[in-house]
Amino acid sequence: MKLTSISSLLPLCALTAAQLPAGPNCPSRTVTPSEQLTIFKSFVRKFYVEKNVPAAFTDHVAESYIQHNPNFLSGRQVASDGLSKYLPALNITVTKIALFDNHGWVLVKQTKEGEGEKGYTAVVDVFRMEGSCVVEHWDVIQQRARNASFVNPLAIFDGQNYTNAV
């Protein structure tokens, strides 16, 4: 099983967000892999880059959304409300995105206002989709210790420059 990144799928993805049906993608409908990729990219852009949590959740997340992060409850509205309070205080760079077999992965570098470059956190968010709709989420979070002395100069995101992958 090979994981394919969005950037390598872009030439295969002839659809644009403007070509998809207007309005929410939930409840779910059957979509092709290229349509699902376009929908997932739209979700990632609204959620992480624009930080428009209500639009991202209304347009792309099922009402019965299953949340595995212990700090947020399941359900589209309760998760949207909680994340809307949390997300604006973060500086987020989407560094990698992939979508395969109805599962999307997003690797982000996030810092809080005033923490500086050495206070970042690496997050991998995993989303399960059913057709056109995000239905489930897991995440793995690793905080970089502010005064850590790493043997590896490329630890986590140190020494690497990223721009948003979306």
Model pLDDT for residues 65-109, shown as the tens digit of each residue:
999 998 888 999 999 999 999 898 899 999 999 999 999 999 999
pLDDT of residue 143: 86
Instruction: State how far the Cα of 56 lies from the Cα of 60, in Å rounded to an integer.
Output: 6
Instruction: Identify which of 137, 39, 150 has the alpha carbon closest to the alpha carbon of residue 79.
Output: 137
How far is 90 from 42, CA to CA, in rounded Å?
20
What's the confidence (pLDDT) of residue 120?
A: 85
Instruction: Quote the pLDDT of residue 22.
Output: 55
Side chain identity, residue 127: F
Which domains are assigned to the chain?
30-143 (3.10.450.50)
pLDDT band at 4 (very low <50, low <70, confident <90, very high): very low
Query: What is the distance between the alpha carbons of residues 38 and 10, in angstroms, rounded to a whole number?
Result: 9
Higher pLDDT, 1 or 43: 43
The pTM for the full model equals: 0.81
Q: Is the model more confident about 18 or about 4? A: 18
- 115-134 tens-digit pLDDT: 666 678 999 999 999 999 99
pLDDT band of residue 156 (cuts 50, 70, 90) is confident
pLDDT tens digits along 22-55: 568 898 999 999 999 999 999 999 999 999 999 9
> Residue type for 124, please?
V
Looking at residue 13, its pLDDT comes to: 40
Q: What is the structure's pLDDT at 49?
A: 95
Q: Are strands 61-67 and 133-143 parallel, antiparallel or unpaired?
A: parallel
| Higher pLDDT, residue 133 or 112 | 133
* Section 4-9 average pLDDT: 40
